Amino acid sequence: MATENAIRKSSELYDKAIDFDELERRLEEDLDSQLLDLDFLIEDREKINNPESLGDTVMNVIWEQFLNQIAVTAGEDFIQENRGLTLDLRNKAHIQDVNDFEGQQYAEHNVYVDYKKRGEEYRANFYTDPNEKPPARLKQEQRYNEKTMTWETYDEIDGTWIKSLRKGYREPYDQARPKGNKTINKDHQISEGTIVRDPEAGAYMATEEKAAFANSDDNLNDLDSAANQSKSDHDGEKWLKHIRTGSKGKGQTNGEYFGIDEEAYIEKDRKSKEAWKKEKEKKKDENIALGKQSQKEEAFRITGKALQAVIMQFLAELVKTVISKLVAWIKSGQKNLESFISQIKAAITSFVSDMKKHVLNARDTLVTTIAASIFGPMIRTIKKAFTLIKQGVKSIKEAIDYIKNPQNSNKPAGVLMLEVGKIVIAGASAAGSIIVSEPIEKGLMAIPVFAIEIPLLGSLASILGMFIGGLVFGIIGALAINLIDKAIAKKQLSDNSKMQIAKRNDIIRTQDTAIVLQQEKLYATKKHVSTAISTRNKKAGAFIKGLMTDVTQDDFYEELQANEDPLKEINFFLSQTQEP
């Protein structure tokens, strides 16, 4: 009614400003816009009951775990082939250092030399237990060296602390030792004790190699049997020059006492020591070369395993893409060879177009393989935990982004929270599939057939555990999301119905306004025409009245007779009273 009154009032000012055609055009535009909004609401209502798919979220996480499985399994396979040792390409893992050897830290990754075994054989010659004190002769000083973890005895002749030797250490050296006679012995210039105690010899030479040098011409020297017993394991030159303190030969050097040519003996001692030094350096160089070769071989092994894992990852990605296209082919109405080949081509094209993504996945596979080869099975647990954290962060970010999206700003708070709940449940379902896969795997491992190892993929139980876990939590998540969707749909349907009713009311009001406008436009036109006719009638009456007055005058007839068109004035008057 208010609209009608407003239009009626405006029609009274028609002659001044109102443009009914413009008003009519605007009303038609408003009506068209309202009808479009109504169509949108009707379409939106049809979409409300279509729930979102949970499969992508869960399967993406399961697929990520599957790729991790490939990488971790490759790393574990490397460890198995590497004699149970994790990846270690450091020099100290392959090239034995003498100080590390003394400290029982062995280059166990060297595939050519068992340094741990050498170390055990080396230490077996000494007293290493701090609670087992070795027997002492006379007043020998003894101590336990915490650094070398051996008992030591002070040698007065050599003037140094030496490792206390166990009985039997001579056996490997005396077996091949040439026999002398009762008066002349074949003496080891570099004594067995010196060779046995030498950590460089222990690290770089096998026992038979040390015995071979000990009994070589470079080290054997003819010596009086009594002198040989006196020399024992002492340094040759130091023993020779040592001044005797006993009852026999007191004040003399051992050389003087036993009548030894000191110059010749010292020369022989020098040559033996030089030969011993060269032999140790030679063996050390050989061991370093073997260590470097071992290092290279381990690097080649991990490179091969990593490349296998990367290739397997690429193949798995390709197979996944092909399978998705084959599923689409099966669902399609056209199942022929041509459409099949078309889908295969589409799969390859899709795979190539996503190459950047595949390369990034390959990088992760490479890193995971190397990490698994370094840290072992614990990487499997770490990767699962990392995926859980990543999925949690992703879900939170998606929820925040959804709330911040301007398109969702007009949604009711209840619907907004339900939608956020769907995002959280999808993330929780994916995380749950990771957690539950491990107990499923352990349960299946109890059945022998599921314990079968598949190269580069791990056990059958592990693979099934991942996919069964994904299936179980995928179903649980889908049910939960479906319930939320129903609640959202119910709310949205109700709101949609209200909005449609309100929009239809707007359309009716607009149509009513258009009808009133048409009526008022007709009323204003009729009024205007009526006013114009009345004005013309008044002017015509006044004219006729004036004309009648003129008729009564005498000169009227004269003018009438002189005028060629007697009605010319009347026609002129009527033309002046026409509506513009």
pLDDT digits (tens, 9 = 90+) for 133-153: 998 776 789 999 999 999 999
Distance CA(367)–CA(306), nearest Å, equals 8
- Report residue 307 as tokens: 């490349």
CA dihedral 435→440→446→448, nearest 10 degrees, is: -120
Q: CA-based angle 274:276:279, to the nearest 5?
A: 110
Nearest CA-CA partner of 396 in 413, 421, 429: 421
In terms of Cβ atoms closer than 10 Å to its own Cβ (0-12, 13-18, 19+), residue 516 is middle
556 pLDDT band (50/70/90 cuts)?
low
Nearest CA-CA partner of 172 in 158, 184, 188: 188
pLDDT digits (tens, 9 = 90+) for 408-463: 666 666 666 666 666 666 656 555 655 666 676 667 666 776 666 666 556 666 66
Whether 402 has a pLDDT exceeding 70, the answer reads no
Q: What residues does each domain of the chain span?
A: 14-32+505-574, 91-299
Nearest CA-CA partner of 183 in 228, 139, 131, 234: 228
Instruction: Give me the mean pLDDT over the 65-74 stretch.
Output: 78
Q: CA-based angle 152:155:160, to the nearest 5?
A: 75
Three-state DSSP class for residue 184: strand
pTM (2 decimals)? 0.63
Distance CA(93)–CA(106), nearest Å, equals 7
> Where is average pLDDT lowest: 101-110, 220-229, 506-515, 558-567?
558-567
